[in-house]
Amino acid sequence: MASGVFGRTEPVFSFLWTYLRNHKRALWLVIPLSSLSILFRILIPVLIGDSVNRVVSGNVAGVVNISVIIVIISAVAAVVQYAVSYGSMYLSHTLAREARSDLYRSMLNKNFTFFDSSGSGDLLSRMTMDVEAVRRLVSVGLSQFLTTIFMIVVAGAILFSLGFYYFLVFVALIPTLLLVSAYQQKLQRPFWRSLRKRYGFMGDHLQENLTAHRVIRSFNAEKRENSKFTGITGKYFSDYESISSIRGFYTPLLSLIVSLGAAFIIYEAGIQVINSSWNIGNLVASINIYSMLLFPVTFLGRIGAFIENARSGVERIGGVENDSRADYASTGSSNEKPEKNSISYHNVSLVRGRQQVIRNISMEIREGETVGIVGRTGSGKSSLVDMIPRFYLPTEGRVYVGGADTSTIDLSYLRKFVALVPQDVVIFSGSIRENVTLGDPEITDDDVVSALKTASIYDFVEDQEYGLDTKVGERGITLSGGQRQRVAIARAIASRPRVLILDDATSSLDAETESNIIESLKDAVDGLTTITISHRLSTMKLADRIFVIEGGELIQSGPLYELSGSEGAFSKMFLGATAVND
C-alpha cells in the first residue's frame, strides 16, 4: 500500500498482511475508527476557530453552544480512541504471538545440519527482538500510519473548505514531505540491517562466553573477552550513531517545512484579512490545522525507522523460516510404522559439509541384538548411528529399520521407536521427573523410578530431599558428568524404545556402573536392540557382536572372541588396554 511512497517495502507489508488478514474484523474496526477519531480531533480546532468568529460577531449563545459541543464530541472521540488504541495493541500482540509461534515451529522443524551451523544466541534474538521490531511497527505504525494518511486527507479537505488558498499551500507541501521521509528511510536501511545482525552476534558471544566461563577464567582470558565484547557493542553503537545523524537531520526538517508554510500563510492570508473580506476565524482555524499536522508529520519521519527496523526483522525471521534445511519428511506416501527392531545398512555413505564421514557401509543388526561399535576418535561412529533416527539422511545408500527404509518411516514414530543417548547430554532445568518424562503424560512415576533404577541413579535421587521433584539444571542442583549421563539414559529407557543407542553415553561413568547399566537394560526391556559406542573393552564384552569403524569404513565385525583372536584393528586398539590392566 505504501510501497509507492516509501520505496520497496513489500516484504514487510506482505509479512504483516499474512498475519493481519486473519484478524480482518479487528482490522476493519481499527481502520475506520481511527479515521473517525481523527475526524473528531480535527473538528476541535475548527470549532475553536468558529468560536473566535462568533466572539468577533459578539454571539454569546453561540459560544456557549460550541463549548458544550466540544465536550460532547471529545467524549465520543475518547471512546473511539480507546477502541483504536486497544485494537491496534490487540492486533500487534496477536501478530507477535502468531509470528513467534510460526518461527518456533519452523525452527523446531529444522534438521540437524541447520543447528550445526546456527548460533543459539542469534536464533534467540530472532525469536525476541526481531519479532518485537515487527510488532512495534503494527502497534505504533498501523493506527498512526492510517491516521496520518487520513489526517492529511481530511486536513486537506477542511483547508479546502476554509479557503482555496489555504489548500494550495498545503498541496505544495505534501509531496515535499513524502519525498523527504522516503529518502531518509532509504538512507537508514543499511544501518538497521547491520544493527539487527550485530544484535544477534551479541547474543552469540554472550552465550559462548557464559557457557565457557571456566575455560576463560582458567586461561586468564577475561580481558580478551572484554575487548571482544566491547568490539561488538562498539560497532552496534556506531550503527546507531549513523542512524541518529540521519534522523536528526531529516525528521525535524519535516516539521520545519510545515511551520514555514504556516508562517507564510499567516502573512499572506493576514494581509488578505486586512485588505479584503477574508475572515479571521478561518485563518486561525487553518493555522491550527497546520500546527495539528506537525505531529503526524513528525510521525512520518519516525515511521521510516520503524519500517526499516521491522524490515530487518522480517528478513531475519524469513532467514530461518525460508531456510530449506527442514527436518527430513518421509518420502512417498507410506509413513511406515515397522514393528521389528532389526537394523540394516545398505551401501551407506554420508557427506557432511565437505567431509565424507561414512564410506559405503553395509551391516546388519538383528532383532534384540546387543552390538558394540568401536573405532578411533573421528572415525565416524556417531555419524553412523545418527542416521538411524534420521538425524542425518544418508547421502548414498539406505538405512532400514524393521525392514523399512528409514526415509519412508513416519518421523515421529521412528524417533519414538529409536532412542539415542548422545555424547553431549542435555539436562533441562526442571525436576528430575520432568527430565525423564520430557512431559510425556503416559510415563508414570513408577516408570520413572524403574528407569532411574535401570540407569543406576535411583539411589542418588532417593537421597535427595525432594526425590523425583528435585530441581536440576541451571536453577537446581548441579549434577556431575556421570549423573547427567545416567539421567539421560533413564530418559531414553522411560520412552520405551525398541532400539536404544548409547553413543559414548557412559564415558563419565566408572566401568562398574557402566556394565551394571548395560546388563540391567536386558532385564528391563524385553527384546531391546542395543547399540553401544564405547572405548571400553569391558563394555564390548557385553556385546553379541562388535563393529569396528575406521576412516568412515567398516573394517571388521564379529563377536569379541573372534575379533580379539585375530590380528586386526580391534586387537590393535585394545591390546594396550588389557596390557595395563593385567
Residues between 535 and 574 with contacts to other proteins, criterion CB under 8 A: 535-538, 541, 551-552, 572-574
Specify the stretch interacting with other proteins by CB under 8 A; choose among 146-154, 161-169, 170-178, 251-259: 251-259
**Minimum distance, C-beta of residue 375 to other proteins, in the bound complex (Å):** 7
Return d(Cα 391, Cα 38) in angstroms, integer: 56
Q: Exposed, middle or buried, 339 (CB in 10 Å: 0-12/13-18/19+)? A: exposed
Specify the stretch interacting with other proteins by CB under 8 A; choose among 21-29, 46-54, 362-370, 523-531: 46-54
Which C-beta is closer to other proteins: that of 98 or that of 562? 98
Which C-beta is closer to other proteins: that of 298 or that of 364? 298
Q: Is residue 576 a contact point for other proteins (CB under 8 A)?
A: yes
Return d(Cα 389, Cα 384) in angstroms, integer: 11
Reading the block at residue 28, the C-alpha cell is 476493519
Which C-beta is closer to other proteins: that of 1 or that of 72? 72
Which C-beta is closer to other proteins: that of 10 or that of 116? 116
Q: What part of residues 317-346 is at the interface with other proteins (CB under 8 A)?
A: 327
Return d(Cα 243, Cα 453) in angstroms, integer: 60
Which C-beta is closer to other proteins: that of 51 or that of 312? 51
Chosen residue from 252, 527, 559, 565 binding other proteins by CB under 8 A: 252
Q: Exposed, middle or buried, 373 (CB in 10 Å: 0-12/13-18/19+)? A: buried
Chosen residue from 376, 398, 496, 522 binding other proteins by CB under 8 A: 376
Q: What is the secondary structure of 217-284 as a DSSP string?
A: HHTT-HHHHHHHHHHHHHHHHHHHHHHHHHHHHHHHHHHHHHHHHHHHHHHHHHHHHHHSS--HHHHH
Q: Is residue 2 a contact point for other proteins (CB under 8 A)?
A: no
Q: What part of residues 390-409 is at the interface with other proteins (CB under 8 A)?
A: 391
Chosen residue from 18, 161, 241, 339 binding other proteins by CB under 8 A: 241
Neighbours of 88 (CB within 10 A): 25
| SS3 assignment, position 442 | coil
Chosen residue from 1, 10, 11, 115 binding other proteins by CB under 8 A: 115
Write each residue from 58 to 97 as x if it is in contact with other proteins (CB under 8 A), else as -, in one continuous string: x-x--xx-xxx-xx-xxx-xxx-xx--xx--xx--xx-xx
Specify the stretch interacting with other proteins by CB under 8 A; choose among 154-162, 182-190, 336-344, 433-441: 433-441
**Minimum distance, C-beta of residue 441 to other proteins, in the bound complex (Å):** 9
Q: Is residue 382 a contact point for other proteins (CB under 8 A)?
A: yes
DSSP tag of 399: E
Residues in the chain: 582
Reading the block at residue 244, the C-alpha cell is 541518529
Cα radius of gyration (the chain): 35
Which C-beta is closer to other proteins: that of 306 or that of 345? 306
Chain centroid offset of residue 27 CA: 26
Q: What part of residues 163-182 is at the interface with other proteins (CB under 8 A)?
A: none
Lookup result for grid cell 525432594? 466
Q: Is residue 271 a contact point for other proteins (CB under 8 A)?
A: yes
Lookup result for grid cell 479557503? 163
Q: Is residue 581 a contact point for other proteins (CB under 8 A)?
A: yes
CB 131 within 8 A of CB 310: no
**Minimum distance, C-beta of residue 269 to other proteins, in the bound complex (Å):** 9
The size of the interface with other proteins (CB under 8 A), counted in residues, is: 190
Q: What part of residues 273-292 is at the interface with other proteins (CB under 8 A)?
A: 273-274, 280, 283-284, 287-288, 291
CB 533 within 8 A of CB 360: no
Q: What part of residues 211-230 is at the interface with other proteins (CB under 8 A)?
A: 211-222, 224-226, 229-230
Chosen residue from 18, 412, 444, 566 binding other proteins by CB under 8 A: 412
Return d(Cα 303, Cα 58) in angstroms, integer: 45
Tell which residue, 240, 237, 246, has the closest CA to residue 304.
246
**Minimum distance, C-beta of residue 56 to other proteins, in the bound complex (Å):** 6
Which C-beta is closer to other proteins: that of 366 or that of 395? 395
**Minimum distance, C-beta of residue 104 to other proteins, in the bound complex (Å):** 5
**Minimum distance, C-beta of residue 480 to other proteins, in the bound complex (Å):** 5
Chosen residue from 190, 319, 422, 467 binding other proteins by CB under 8 A: 422
Q: What part of residues 191-210 is at the interface with other proteins (CB under 8 A)?
A: 199, 202-204, 206-210
Q: Is residue 27 a contact point for other proteins (CB under 8 A)?
A: no
**Minimum distance, C-beta of residue 6 to other proteins, in the bound complex (Å):** 20
Return d(Cα 372, Cα 387) in angstroms, integer: 16
* The 404-405 sheet, strands edge to edge: 355-365, 343-352, 396-401, 404-405
Q: Is residue 470 a contact point for other proteins (CB under 8 A)?
A: no
Write each residue from 494 to 533 as x if it is in contact with other proteins (CB under 8 A), else as -, in one continuous string: -x--------x--xxxxxxx-x------------------
**Minimum distance, C-beta of residue 340 to other proteins, in the bound complex (Å):** 19
DSSP tag of 403: T
Return d(Cα 57, Cα 72) in angstroms, integer: 24
| SS3 assignment, position 50 | helix
Which C-beta is closer to other proteins: that of 12 or that of 262? 262
Return d(Cα 425, Cα 402) in angstroms, integer: 27
Tell which residue, 570, 542, 577, has the closest CA to residue 555.
570
Which C-beta is closer to other proteins: that of 17 or that of 249? 249
CB 410 within 8 A of CB 528: no
